[in-house]
């Protein structure tokens, strides 16, 4: 693309007169990662630096062990033609090998045995040293991450161990001296969009939602075919349905018989019914994806990874506007729906620029919708949960029974949210979309907060799971207290 000409056309359309020549910053706009309030971006930058430092520590630790491994190998004067078991026993008695094991492996028998087998393989020439060190590098990096996570997750493992699988895999919690949650973040999972950064973005939207909503609906009322109107319509659809904004790839190899994406060359070779499946998001939906029923618009398309996305748009003005774009596309023999009056389609970049105007990104809306959907589903499940809890309020296994009932209620709510957001697996919903603050708040209070915005904005949640609070809430709900 000729970026200079692109900017000139844009500025001419907007009536912008440039006083100087184009700079590098003119040609390349801010990335979506730079959108947000100053406090959110400061937190993002801090987490990015921490992530990079973690990555350096992982590599440095592995490099140090590998260098010692290679040095130890070179010092050995053992005959390569010895029997494998005999060589293994000799290594167990070799001082330099024992020093290496004690220093870098520890006392775990299985780990020591695995390392000794690496020594044997190299000495006997079964596996080249380079290949062994590559394998060792991968193993060491994983081991380092596992050890660090285990240490960081001690708070989780001791206080809410029954619920660990309901939270993101790499989530860690930091507490203040009063036992209240200070930070909910993750390690080794996200370079910049750590859990607390995602939460901060959500707080930014929730705290200014009324203003954003008013501005977006004002843009929806702009002249038909304007990019502002196209973008506003896309934003409203995304927020109401939770659907994806789109994907620059817009396609994937897919097995239509097995109904699964083909992610490797091996999968593609073995697929019985391989097709290149075009995928969509709200920014590039077509007439085939929309049906109007009464006062609603039903939207259905194949999205990321070929997953079927379903959504219903109910806002009257948004439905009416979408119908205008639909009729225009049909009248002009065009498949694409969101196209401006000059015939230019709404792109993901254009939509991102529009959202940046109001200090959020298109993907932030999907995370907000996912979290709100989980919140609403948890409120529904709460009634069933309380009914169940009242049946064993006096049991001598209260914690175990309450924990299992709460776990099942939360999992039902998460599964419903997964279906509503068209995620391929519930782990995607947990790891990538739902803010864990909702569940942490629920565990802390024994009930879901009556206001979603209050819950998201609350910064004083105690980190705990108290079965007595759930029993009390259940009895109050049943009119027994």
Mean pLDDT of 98-106: 94
Q: How confident is the model at residue 83 (pLDDT cuts 50, 70, 90)?
A: confident
Tokens of 438: 């909702």
Mean pLDDT of 106-116: 93
Q: What is the mean pLDDT of the chain?
A: 89
Q: How confident is the model at residue 258 (pLDDT cuts 50, 70, 90)?
A: confident
Q: In the prediction, which pLDDT does 77 show?
A: 77
Q: In the prediction, which pLDDT does 28 show?
A: 42
With pLDDT > 90 as the criterion, what percentage of the chain qualifies? 71
Among 12-16, 135-139, 157-161, 403-407, which is the least confidently predicted range?
12-16
With pLDDT > 70 as the criterion, what percentage of the chain qualifies? 92
27 CB neighbour count, 10 Å cutoff: 12
Mean pLDDT of 338-353: 93
Mean pLDDT of 47-70: 95
Q: In the prediction, which pLDDT does 25 show?
A: 35
Q: In the prediction, which pLDDT does 273 show?
A: 87
Tokens of 115: 């390392």
**Domain 209-358 listed as CATH 3.40.50.10680:** no
Q: In the prediction, which pLDDT does 481 show?
A: 63
434-458 tens-digit pLDDT:
999 999 999 999 999 889 999 998 8
Pick from 33, 24, 19: which is nearest to 4 by CA?
24
State the Cα–Cα distance between residues 327 and 315, nearest whole angstrom.
18
Mean pLDDT of 63-78: 91
Q: How confident is the model at residue 391 (pLDDT cuts 50, 70, 90)?
A: confident
Q: How confident is the model at residue 204 (pLDDT cuts 50, 70, 90)?
A: very high
* Bridge partners, 311 (sequence order): 299
Mean pLDDT of 35-63: 94
459-477 tens-digit pLDDT:
778 899 999 999 999 999 8
State the Cα–Cα distance between residues 403 and 406, nearest whole angstrom.
5
Q: What does the buried/exposed string (b/e) look like for 285-295 if buried means 16 or more CB atoms within 10 Å of the residue's CB?
A: bbbebbeeeee
Which residue reads 């097709």 in tokens?
275
Q: In the prediction, which pLDDT does 304 show?
A: 87
Q: In the prediction, which pLDDT does 192 show?
A: 87
14-47 tens-digit pLDDT:
555 554 444 433 344 445 558 899 999 999 999 9
Q: In the prediction, which pLDDT does 29 show?
A: 46
Among 56-60, 170-174, 204-208, 304-308, which is the least confidently predicted range?
304-308
Q: How confident is the model at residue 76 (pLDDT cuts 50, 70, 90)?
A: confident
Q: In the prediction, which pLDDT does 246 show?
A: 86
265-282 tens-digit pLDDT:
888 888 888 889 899 999
Residue 213, pLDDT above cutoff 60: yes
Among 81-95, 140-154, 319-333, 366-380, which is the least confidently predicted range?
81-95
Residue 252, pLDDT above cutoff 50: yes
Residue 7, pLDDT above cutoff 80: no
């Amino acid at each position: 693309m000729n970026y200079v000409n692109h900017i000139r056309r844009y500025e001419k359309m907007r009536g912008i007169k440039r006083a100087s020549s184009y700079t590098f910053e003119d040609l390349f706009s801010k990335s979506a990662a730079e959108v947000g309030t100053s406090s959110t971006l400061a937190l993002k930058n801090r987490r990015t630096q921490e992530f990079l430092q973690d990555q350096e520590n992982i590599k440095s630790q592995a490099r140090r062990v590998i260098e010692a491994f290679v040095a130890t190998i070179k010092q050995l004067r053992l005959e390569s033609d010895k029997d494998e078991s005999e060589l293994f026993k000799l290594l167990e008695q070799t001082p330099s090998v024992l020093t290496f094991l004690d220093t870098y492996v520890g006392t775990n028998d299985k780990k020591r045995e695995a390392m000794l087998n690496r020594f044997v393989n190299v000495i006997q020439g079964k596996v080249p040293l380079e290949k062994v060190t590559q394998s060792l590098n991968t193993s060491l990096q994983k081991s380092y991450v596992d050890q660090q996570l285990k240490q960081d997750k001690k708070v989780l493992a001791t206080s809410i161990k029954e619920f660990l699988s309901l939270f993101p895999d790499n989530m860690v919690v930091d507490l203040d001296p009063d036992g209240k949650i200070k930070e909910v973040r993750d390690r080794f999972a996200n370079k910049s969009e750590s859990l607390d950064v995602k939460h901060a973005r959500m707080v930014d939207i929730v705290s200014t939602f009324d203003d954003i909503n008013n501005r977006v609906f004002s843009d929806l009322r702009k002249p038909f075919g304007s990019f502002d109107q196209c973008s506003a319509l896309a934003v409203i659809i995304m927020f109401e349905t939770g659907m994806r904004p789109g994907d620059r790839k817009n396609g994937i190899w897919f097995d239509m018989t097995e109904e699964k994406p083909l992610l490797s060359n091996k999968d593609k070779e073995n697929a019985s019914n391989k097709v290149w499946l075009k995928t969509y998001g709200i920014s590039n939906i077509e007439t085939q994806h929309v049906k109007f029923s009464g006062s609603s618009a039903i939207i259905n398309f194949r999205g990321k990874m070929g997953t079927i996305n379903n959504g219903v748009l109910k806002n009257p003005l948004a439905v009416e506007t979408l119908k205008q774009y639909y009729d225009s596309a049909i009248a002009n023999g065009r498949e694409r729906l969101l196209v401006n009056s000059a015939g230019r389609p709404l792109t993901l970049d254009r939509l991102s620029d529009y959202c940046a105007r109001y200090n959020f990104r298109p993907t932030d809306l999907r995370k907000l919708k996912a979290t709100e959907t989980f919140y609403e589903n948890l409120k529904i499940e709460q009634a069933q949960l309380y009914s169940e809890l009242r049946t064993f309020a006096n049991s001598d296994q209260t914690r175990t029974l309450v924990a299992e009932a709460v776990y099942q209620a939360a999992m039902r709510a998460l599964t419903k949210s997964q279906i509503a957001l068209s995620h391929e697996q519930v782990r995607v919903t947990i790891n990538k979309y739902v803010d864990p603050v909702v569940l942490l708040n629920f565990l802390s209070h024994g009930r879901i907060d009556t206001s979603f915005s209050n819950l998201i904005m609350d910064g004083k949640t105690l980190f705990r799971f108290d079965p007595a609070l759930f029993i009390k809430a259940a009895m109050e709900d049943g009119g027994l207290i």
